[in-house]
């Protein structure tokens, strides 16, 4: 593991901790290392934005950071099942250009996760990993898409009896 990568990740973690200490607001994206001694494996949650079919849902994510970070992007996957054209329903893989060929070292893990959150509201149907969800949008059936997303959000990501 690269010392430069470890230092960068530790700096990002300190910034996130400081932000959390100074805020009483529940964040839409909340991430941290799985173990404080291993900066290359992170976990977190993404909360569905208000006024979207994801509202009320909380999805667990897994982040694997390559040893060449920040020169190479992290791998972000949804652990909680989610219905979205650019997210594989079974594996949780995310298809997002900044996690592939448009990554730059200016991005942080937090900003990459915020981009994933933004993707939930603005799917790209031309590069789907969930073809069924993309096809519903291709046929301009937004009410059906919203209903489909809400169904899976309720089934997997919306707390029932205190569980998520």
Sign of the C-alpha dihedral, residues 108, 116, 162, 41?
negative
Domain presence at residue 18: yes
Residue 155 reports pLDDT greater than 70: yes
Domain presence at residue 163: no
pLDDT digits (tens, 9 = 90+) for 60-82: 999 999 999 999 999 999 999 99
164 pLDDT band (50/70/90 cuts)?
very low
Domain presence at residue 146: yes
- Read off the CATH number of the domain in which 55 is found: 3.10.110.10
Residues labelled catalytic: 95
Task: Give the pLDDT score at 34.
Answer: 96
Domain presence at residue 162: no
Whether the link from the prior residue into 52 is cis, omega within 30° of 0, is no
> With pLDDT > 90 as the criterion, what percentage of the chain qualifies?
87
Residue 19 reports pLDDT greater than 60: yes
CA 69/CA 4 separation, integer angstroms? 8
Domain presence at residue 80: yes
Domain presence at residue 164: no
CA angle 72, 76, 77 (to 5 degrees): 150
Sheet holding 58-64, edge to edge: 29-35, 38-47, 58-64, 75-78
pTM of the model: 0.93
DSSP letter (8 states) at residue 80: S
Domain presence at residue 161: no
Domain presence at residue 151: yes
b/e for 21-30, b at 16 or more Cβ within 10 A?
A: eeeeeebbbb
Helix (H) or strand (E) holding 147: helix 142-156
Q: In total, how many domains does the chain have?
A: 1
List the domain range (segments joined by +) for residue 27. 3-156
Residue 39 reports pLDDT greater than 50: yes
The mean pLDDT value for 26-45 works out to: 93
Q: What is the mean pLDDT of the chain?
A: 94
Residue 154 reports pLDDT greater than 60: yes
Structural tokens at position 114 = 């915020």
Reference 137, options 119, 124, 150, 154; nearest CA is 124
163 pLDDT band (50/70/90 cuts)?
low
């Amino acid at each position: 593991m690269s010392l430069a990568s470890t230092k960068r990740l530790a700096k990002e973690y300190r910034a996130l901790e400081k932000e959390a200490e100074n805020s009483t607001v529940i964040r839409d994206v909340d991430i941290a290392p799985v173990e404080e001694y291993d900066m290359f494996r992170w976990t977190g949650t993404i909360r569905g934005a208000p006024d979207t079919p994801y509202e009320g849902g909380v999805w667990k994510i897994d982040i694997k950071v390559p040893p060449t970070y920040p020169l190479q992007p992290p791998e972000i996957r949804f652990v909680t099942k989610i219905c979205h054209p650019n997210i594989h329903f079974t594996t949780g893989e995310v298809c997002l250009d900044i996690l592939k060929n448009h990554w730059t070292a200016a991005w942080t893990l937090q900003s990459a996760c915020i981009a994933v959150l933004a993707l939930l509201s603005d799917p790209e149907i031309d590069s789907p990993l969930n073809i069924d969800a993309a096809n519903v949008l291709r046929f301009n059936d937004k009410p059906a898409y919203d209903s489909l997303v809400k169904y899976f959000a309720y089934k997997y990501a919306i707390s029932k009896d205190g569980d998520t």
